Amino acid sequence: MPYVADADAINASRVHVEFDQSAGDASFVRLKLLASASLRIVQLGFEPGFATIPHYHPGAGEFFHVLWGSGRFIIGEDDLSAVPGDLLYAAPGVIHQIIAGPDGLRFLAGVSPNEDRADEEIQVPDASVVGR
């Protein structure tokens, strides 16, 4: 998840985010909620079957909290099915990939620290783990 500048995020003391769960809201979303030097939190929404390119963050850990839908979170050697309420974590340097389930996926993603550097996120397309 790319760097988020402080000025690009909502950065309020309270942020309430809604989406229509009953309608199966599976559209692509990238809502920048919080950003500081120490942390960024973004709400992401993926359409059914969407898969990120495997990647890692050399100097940052990343958490994922599933809000709606389902998906696979491949983190290192672990291939984890996730549903609302699940919290997952990829430590710094661990390759991870997210694949949205058949109804789509909405989740919060947080990266700490929130660094603006060229190698903050390194994609590893040759290490694709889809379909393991």
How would DSSP label each residue in 45-95?
A: EE-TT-BPPPEE-TT-EEEEEEEEEEEEEEETTEEEEE-TT-EEEE-TT--
Average pLDDT of the chain is 87
At residue 48, does pLDDT exceed 90? yes
Pairing of strands 29-35, 87-90: unpaired
pLDDT for the residue 132: 43
List the domain boundaries for the chain.
41-118
Count the Cβ atoms, other than its own, within 10 Å of residue 114.
22
Mean pLDDT calculated for residue range 7-33: 74
Q: What is the pLDDT of residues 91-111, one digit of tens each?
A: 999 999 999 999 999 999 999
- Rounded to two decimals, the pTM is 0.84
Domain at 41-118, CATH homologous superfamily: Jelly Rolls (2.60.120.10)
